[in-house]
A and B are shown apart, each in its own frame.
Chain A
Amino acid sequence: MTLALTLRVAGRLAKAVITLVGVAVVVFIVLRLLPGNQITSSLGVNAGLLTKAQYADLEHYYGIGKPLLQQFGQWAGDLLHGNMGVSEQSGRSVTSLIGAALPVTLELAVFAMLIGLVLGVGLGTLAAAAPGRLADRGARLVALAGLGVPSFVIGAGLVAFLAQVFHYFPSSEGFASLWSDPWLNIQQIFWPALTLGLGIGAAILRTTRGAMLDVARQGYVRAARGRGLRPGLVTVKHVLRNALIPIVTMSGIQFGYLLGGTVVVEEIFVLPGLGRLLLMSVTESDYAVAQGVTLVFALGFITVNLITDLLYTVVDPRLRS
Chain B
Amino acid sequence: MAGLAAVPSLDVAAVRPGLFRRLWRQPSGRAGLIILAVVVLAGLASLAGLAPDAPDAQNPAATLRGPSAAHLFGTDQFGRDVLSRVMSGTVLSLQTALLAVAICAVIGTLGGVAAGYFGGVVSWAVTGLADLIFAVPSVLLALAIVSGLGPGWQNTAIAVGISYTPIFIRVVRGPVLTIRQADYVKAARVLGFSRTRILFRHVLPGVGGILAVQVTLALGWAVLIEASLDFLGLGPPPPAATLGLMVSEGTNIAGIAWWNLAFPAVAVVLLVLGFTLTGDGLRDALDPTAPGSS
- Does the CB pair A152–B148 fall under 8 Å? no
Q: Which of B247, B258, B277 has the most CB of A within 10 A?
A: B247
B224 to chain A: closest residue by CB: A150
- Does the CB pair A156–B144 fall under 8 Å? no
Chain A positions 34 through 54: 1 when the CB is less than 8 Å from some CB of chain B, otherwise 0? 110000000000000000000
Chain B interface residues toward A at CB < 8 A: 128, 131-132, 134-141, 143-144, 147-148, 224, 227-228, 231-232, 244, 247-248, 250-251, 254-255, 258, 261, 265, 268-269, 272-273, 276-277
- Does the CB pair A279–B143 fall under 8 Å? yes
- B144: which A residues are within 8 A, CB to CB? 30-31, 33-34, 282
- A250: which B residues are within 8 A, CB to CB? none
- Does the CB pair B265–A153 fall under 8 Å? yes
Interface check A255, CB cutoff 8 A? no
- Does the CB pair A294–B247 fall under 8 Å? no
Interface check A263, CB cutoff 8 A? yes
- Does the CB pair A156–B251 fall under 8 Å? yes
- Chain A residues within 8 Å of chain B by Cβ, number: 46
- B254: which A residues are within 8 A, CB to CB? 156, 160, 163-164
Known: A27-B136, A267-B232. A148 touches B255 (CB 8 A): no
- Does the CB pair A278–B137 fall under 8 Å? yes
CA distance A177 to B53 in the complex (A): 49
CA distance A208 to B211 in the complex (A): 24
Chain A positions 246 through 259: 1 when the CB is less than 8 Å from some CB of chain B, otherwise 0? 00000000001001
- Does the CB pair B135–A282 fall under 8 Å? no
In angstroms, how far is the closest chain B Cβ from the Cβ of A278?
Answer: 6
Q: Which of A200-236 contact B (CB under 8 A)?
A: none
Q: Which of B231, B247, B255 has the most CB of A within 10 A?
A: B231
Chain A positions 270 through 287: 1 when the CB is less than 8 Å from some CB of chain B, otherwise 0? 000001001100110100
Interface check A187, CB cutoff 8 A? no
- B261: which A residues are within 8 A, CB to CB? 156-157, 160
